[in-house]
Structure 1
Amino acid sequence: MAMMDWKIIISEYVCPSLGCFIASAVFAAPINDLSKALKLGSLGNLNTVPWSIMTGNCLGWCSYAYCTNDPFVLAANLPGLILSFWLNIGAAKLQYLKQIQNNDTKTIRSNNNNNNNNNDVGFEDENNENNNNNNRNKNNNNNNADADADNIRRRIVNNFNNHINITTNTTTTTASSSSSSSLTSSSQDVLFLRVISIWSIIIVCVGWLGILHGYEQKIIGILVNINLIFFYGAPLQTMKTVFETKSSNSIHTPTVTMNVINAIFWISYGLAKNDIIIYGPNGIGLLLGITQGTLCLIYPSSSSSPSKHIEEEVAFELQPLPYRDDAEPDDQELFTNDRDFVSSTSSSLVLDHSLNDETVIT
């Protein structure tokens, strides 16, 4: 009799109590990775699909706990429901950030190409005008050749600075307006709202409208089991990628490990309560977790971090500044010869050059 009491205590109280802690650990497993991703500004290889499924899973189990008056099921899933909102919001932020970066890069490159074409014409006209002025100055007053050359150099540099500032401001404004107008939603937002909408309809129909009255527990239990299977098996959607890349980077190992441990405790509790709604899906989850763990052993994940995916590539190309070939050695003048001083392929920069009176460019 005493032995039976200990079995009941362990199976009906100890196992579900430990299951509550393990379930919280399962839901909290992605916190560290998402925190790093938010600091770095990129999701990297993180698979965020289970986070939306996690919202529906926890919401469904909280509803089932209400129907069955089971405090252990409620305590195990309510923290996960709250945490899932933060995970989905964080993933959506990073997906929006990636869209903005992609749109900005495309817009800046497009504007830079257009501006470079305009620069060629503008600098060519400036060069022709400078050549004519230089020839007249040499013929009229050779004694003032050095002063005229300094004025020409200042005018070229000032015009270049003004052009860069105007182009940069125009490019930034255009890129910002283009990015803001093209951002409508992210994949995480769409999936999250779909899951919330489905479960809201289920809860209203079963709990409030009284549809299928008397079968609320079974209906909620069956639907939450379907959702739970998707939650356990969500990383398996990347199985094709795992086989192709020979790497399990897309499978979150800490979550899989905690899922296996969590399933074992809840199977014990479900068997003790003789509730197939509890031990049935957790048994399937245990098999799926073992399968995912096997994939991780067969195809180890390569060492990678989200920081590798957010390195901003800013490439500068320094162009030579040619001189006139027909000028005298003591009176060489600086020409642009339809070339840019500096060109950038991924970011807009405002360049500030200053030329003092005593500075001489040769």
Structure 2
Amino acid sequence: MSDADRSFGGASTGAGEIFQLLLDGHARTKADLVHLTGLARSTVSSRVDALLASGLVIPAGEAASTGGRPPSRVAFNPRAGLVLAVDLGASHATVAVSDLGGRILASITHALDIASGPVAVLDRVVAEGRTLLDDATLRAIPIVGVGIGVPGPVEHSSGRPYNPPIMPGWDRFDIPAYVQQTFDVPVLVDNDVNVLALGEQTASFPETTDLIFVKVATGIGAGIIAGGTLQRGAQGSAGDMGHVRVPHSPDSPRANDEDRDLEDLASGSAIAATLRAQGADAETSNDVVELVRSGNPAAIEALRQAGRDVGEVLATVVNLLNPSVIVLGGSIARAGEHLLAGVREVVYRRSIPLATQHLAIVQSPTGERAAVLGAAVLVAREVLSPANVDARVAAAAR
């Protein structure tokens, strides 16, 4: 049963709560909303009129008549505002503009060194955002928020990176305050795997409420969606798989007393180090990907073993959280299906049968656009929350 099919009941349902019923994209009449909320017709009518005045809702034609004048329908207006969505990686940045429905309207991707520091990186991102928003087709639509994904731990309450290992100079930097010097709107910052999980769920698994996104690249991390809600933990560090110790397996080439973190075994740099020890020319994650795609047997086996090591950790995660989908993404996961095969090999063998009965372990179907989509969704969910919709309706009425 969808949220739109549940009756809210109670006379306290405000315009913001009524608005949530329209976020699924289906147009509804006032009579439909009366039925769904249990509110009086006059109450629903006044609140829908207020939503129309705010611009969040627009007329959507007429429903079929059952006799007399056909009733008018209303629908969510995704063009009521724009979101600037930013995906920052270790060596790239993507800046995009989306509407409130998560549709990407314009974007640009370029090489960028995150180690250049927050001022240099954010100045460029802000400048590119202003250029995208200055497009003639977008100029008249207000920007309502900025969403940014960064490749490191983030204190969610403040939006500040916290001791990020590959982001020198960013520790505790106030990203929201800096960006708000240019864009006076809410600025939400999150770890990149969290926005990737949101983007993947939105684009490819909208009906899935329990999903784990695992990024395997220069580092390793997981975004966890449980019960339909992104799980950040108490301070925002949930999903830090890379620092989980990997138990020894009889199938592993490691010595049985060699206990290491997952990132030390299965990240792109770790795989490259393994291949260098075998005489291969591999310095970076990109080198690993190229070797795998060229059919190098040592690289293929190293990637498969990395998958097994990731699977050792994920098997425990599956037993604890019982997700229905695990999505593998990141540069190493995109090198081919060898990592995926290694993960499946271990997870299906080591997790309990009930937890894996309907578990799908897949490569990312959304790909590189998942991050900016997730950053856009992060902001849209915040600005379209019942409380914030009520505040917008109240401001429009003044």
TM-score, length of structure 1 as denominator length: 0.22
Going by fraction, where is strand more abundant, 1 or 2?
Answer: 2
Higher-Rg member (1/2): 1
Going by fraction, where is helix more abundant, 1 or 2?
Answer: 1
Higher RCO, Cα 8 Å, sep 6+: 1
